[in-house]
Amino acid sequence: MTESSSQNANVVAEHLRSWNAKAVAELSEFRGETTIVVPRELLRGAAARCREDQALQYNLFTDLSCVDRYPVEPRFELNYHLVSISRREKIRLRVRLSGSDPVVDSLVPVWPGANWLEREVFDLFGIRFTGHPDLRRILLPDDWEGHPLRRDYPVTGFRDVHNSGEIFRKGSRP
């Protein structure tokens, strides 16, 4: 951990804590990357604070990723990757969600570019985003059953492929 990345982590955590004392549940540094775990009910506010605070200026939302830790609870982990272009710094906001209630506020009101990334996570993991303007599947057909990147999703899927010809039948060779 470099001293500058450590200072960055402390500055961001300090600003978030000054906004709300419960905003930082956990703070970690690994190989110069800062991760701040935020409670799910404070995610949208913390993200808005990171964007609007003149001392932070995290004005670019670059990525959203999801991790399924099944069978461990909390099952899901959402990672929001933010960049401050003017300060040349990166940060990761992390939210943990239980498998029984995988719902979190949408960040589309803060960063409109989160739209398709949240739709992708919804489609592949089944995480629901409250307040999303158009939460529907983006990669899979509308009639697809389940969410294929969940660790408990059957490897063979939930249904047969109809009218697939010889290529999908057992024992056939191309």
Which domains occur in the chain, in start order?
3-103 (3.30.460.80)
Question: Position 53: which residue type?
Answer: D
Look up residue 3 and give its two tokens: 């001293």
Tell me, what's the pLDDT at 155? 80
CA distances from 101 to 6, 44, 98, 139 (A): 34, 18, 5, 23
pTM (2 decimals)? 0.85
Reported as a single tens digit per residue, the pLDDT across 66-122 is 999 999 999 999 999 999 999 999 999 999 999 999 999 999 999 999 999 999 999
What percentage of the chain exceeds 70 in pLDDT? 84
Q: Is the pLDDT at 1 greater than 50, yes or no?
A: no
* Region of poorest pLDDT, from 72-81, 129-138, 142-151: 142-151
Q: Which residue blocks in the chain are alpha helix, DSSP H? A: 3-19, 43-52, 114-125
What is the percentage of the chain residues whose pLDDT exceeds 90?
78
